[in-house]
Structure formats: structure tokens, C-alpha cells
Amino acid sequence: MVKKFLILFSVIVFMGNILSCKVKGGEKKIDEEIQLPQPKTRGKISLEESILKRHSVRDFSKRILSREQISQLLWAAYGEKHDAKTGATKTVPSAGAAYPMETYLVSSQGFFHYFPQNHKLVKLKNIDLRSSLSKAALRQGCVSSAGVNIVITCVYDRICGRYKKRGIKYAYIEAGHIAQNIHLQAVCLGLSSVAVGAFSDEAVQKVLDLPNDHIPVYIIPVGYPKKK
């Protein structure tokens, strides 16, 4: 009886491991949930000051970003809010409230998918993909040196189903809203950023092993500026 139970238990554990780990190119795919801290709605500097201070920075220091900073950046990018009065549910506008974007985070700590509904990150890979991502972005140094890269992708079916070809334009505009929120939030956190549009969509998809319908639109490297 005990032996049978042990065999059954080993089989369950083995199957569980197979289901939760997809091995690809030697990289284990994991599924670890990380609850992000509650984002703040009051900052140290004004909106006007962050607009004034924002500029592109392409050389970052090695300093790691805190979980609070990452939480704040992702919330500003595509986080949720619940405003009963206005009905607005996200930090950015979206044509027809379709919200077709999916955001990912690439850092020295691993590769993560952001889930705005519960403000969680799901760790997909335990390795630092910044250098590989940089190669997919014409070897731009800002991508490999940034503390984090926020990768904005679009699931075009979610927007083109309703708006057909025009949905593509709407997706690009929405990516711009997201990017600007990240840039301004970064300044408020004492961080810097740059917009990166020069990359191979296919190479980025391959490096990150993204689902086929998550098409990369924009990469926003963020970090502490390197002191000169």
C-alpha cells in the first residue's frame, strides 16, 4: 500500500515537472509569480518637472532597480486603476478600451510577463537575456546596460478584429502612450530611459520565446544613468 502510494506520488511529481518546465535551447521555462508592491500615486517631483527633465539616456550604471521602482514603472506603463466615476481602468487610453498590449520585463534577474489585473509578474526564465535582446536590437548598448528593459508587444487580433487595418495605427499610438508614461515615471524615480524602435521583430520574438501573436512594438530600457 505504502509502496503503491510512493509510486503514484513520484509519477504525479514527475508529470508536474514536465508540465511546468518547457525546456528550449537549454533554458528552463518556469512559472514563478511575484506580487508587486502597491504603486504610489504621489511622487517627489511634478509632472512639469519630469517633462522638463526627460531626455534619452543610453548608458546605464550596473545598479539594480528595486521591486518598488519596477512596480511603479509597470503600473505607469499598463497598470490598472479603478475609477468608478470615470470608468477608466488603465493608466493609458486605448481605442475602444480594447487594451491589445502585453508587456514584458527583461532584467539581470530574469525574464518576466506583467499581469496588470493583479499587478503581478510571472517569471518565465531565470536567465539574463539583456545581451541577447541587445543583439536583436542592432547591438544597441542601452539594451544590454539598462537595469530593466520593458518590452511592449501587441496582440493585433484584439484591436484589428474591431478596427481592421486602422487597428495597427491605434496599436502604435497606444504604445506611444505607454512609452511616455514609462519615460516620465522613470524621471520621477530618479531613473533614465530611452525609446528603442530599431530592432528585428522576429529576432526579439525568438530571443524572448514570445507567443506567436505577441508582436514586439517598442523596447524601453530604463536604469540609473552612468555617472560621467
- Count the neighbouring beta carbons within 10 Å of the beta carbon of residue 208: 22
CB 20, min distance to ligand FMN, A = 35
* Contacts for 44 with CB less than 8 Å, ≥ 6 apart: 188
Please state, in angstroms and rounded to a whole number, the distance separating the CA atoms of residues 186 and 34. 21
Contact indicator for 113, 199 with CB cutoff of 8 Å: no
User: Which member of 22, 28, 44, 55 binds ligand FMN (CB under 6 A)?
Assistant: 55
Which one of residues 171, 194, 215, 222 is an interface residue with ligand FMN (CB under 6 A)?
194
Residues 77-96 that bind ligand FMN (CB under 6 A): none
Selected binder of ligand FMN within 4, 198, 212, 227 (CB under 6 A): 198
Q: Which residue is listed with cell 488603465? A: 90
The Cα–Cα gap between 80 and 103 comes to 13
Backbone angles phi, psi at 35, to 5 degrees: -75, 125
- State which H helix or E strand residue 77 sits in: helix 67-78
Q: Which is nearer to ligand FMN, 103 or 109 (CB)?
A: 103
3 state DSSP class of 124 = strand
> CB under 6 A: which stretch of 11-19, 110-118, 128-136, 189-197 binds ligand FMN?
189-197
Assess 153 for contact with ligand FMN (CB under 6 A): no
Cell, residue 104: 514584458
> In the bound complex, what is the minimum distance in angstroms from residue 37's beta carbon to ligand FMN?
29
C-beta of 70 vs 152, nearer to ligand FMN: 152
Grid cell listed for 44? 517627489
Looking at 10, 20, 38, 56, which residue binds ligand FMN (CB under 6 A)? 56
The residue among 124 and 204 lying less far from ligand FMN, judged by its C-beta, is 204
Interface with ligand FMN, residue 141, by CB under 6 A: no
Are 228 and 79 spatial neighbours (Cβ–Cβ below 8 Å)? no
| Position among 30, 64, 195, 203 found at the interface with ligand FMN (CB under 6 A) | 195
CA distance 105 to 122: 10
The least CB distance from residue 175 to ligand FMN, in Å, is 9
* Site for ligand FMN, rule CB under 6 A: 55-56, 58, 140, 142, 194-198
